[in-house]
Amino acid sequence: MDDEGFLMLGRMVTAVELVEGCGEFAALVPEVRTNLVYARERAADRGDVLAVDGRITVVDGRPRAAGRPRFGASSHMARLIIELRRVDPSVRAGIDFAWTPRLSRWLGRYCREQGWVFSVIDRRGEPEEIKEAEGASMPWKVAEAVRAAGGRVPKVFYETGAVGKEPVTVLVGPDPVGVADQACTIARKFHGSG
């Protein structure tokens, strides 16, 4: 591996430990689990994106990574981050977590306070021909999130409304330690708000 890879891996391991150390985040881990991804500066495909192998689940009431960070370990979140980077290359890392109506309302206010763009992908608006074409959903979803955010990549967004798909929230940023730290702050403040 090259030094960019080692540096990324060290940051990912640290970011994963941040999430594991945040007990309140357990309440935000969705049924489909949480992933954390980090793309190389010149990421072309999922092999250039670090992700947690097996994702992060909840064990003994606390977040726990199932496996280690590896390049190529994610498909969905890796493609999402690559697609977002076509619009804004400063975005290199992302984390996904649960969506509920209450969290969504709270996040709307929290993002406003932080000056963060908050957006939504309503998959009920997805054209049938895109739903059915293998691999066509991701560009549509990113275009929809960007459109709904007024042309920018939003800091936080969620997708909702699909049959057979659990709704999730996504938070992105330039590096995984920052993204993990922001997600943990959200988990702690949302927990404290309840």
Q: How far is the CB of 54 from a copy of itself (least distance, A)?
A: 4
Does the protein bind a copy of itself through residue 47 (CB under 8 A)?
no
> Does 122 engage in binding with a copy of itself (CB under 8 A)?
no
Smaller CB separation from a copy of itself, 62 or 188: 62
Q: Decide if residue 136 touches a copy of itself (CB under 8 A).
A: no
User: CB neighbours of 8 closer than 8 A, spacing ≥ 6?
Assistant: 38, 40, 50
What is the nearest approach in angstroms of a copy of itself to the Cβ of residue 117? 24
Instruction: Give the residue with the Cβ less far from a copy of itself, 102 or 189.
Output: 102
Distance of CA 37 to the CA centre of its chain: 7
Q: Nearer to a copy of itself by C-beta: 63 or 154?
A: 63
- Of 68-97, binders to a copy of itself (CB under 8 A) are 68-69
Residue with tokens 């929809």: 144
Of 53, 50, 51, which is closest to residue 66 (Cα–Cα)? 53
CB of 32 to a copy of itself, least distance (A): 4
Nearest to 98 by CA among 25, 154, 19: 25
Considering only residues 149 to 178 of the shown chain, the ones binding a copy of itself according to CB under 8 A are 160-167
Q: Which residue bears the tokens 């066509």?
A: 136
Query: Closest CB to a copy of itself among 59 and 189?
Result: 59
Taking the least distance from each CB to a copy of itself, the nearer of 60 and 129 is: 60
Q: Which residues bind a copy of itself (CB under 8 A)?
A: 1, 3, 5-11, 13-14, 17, 31-33, 53-55, 57-60, 64, 66-69, 160-167
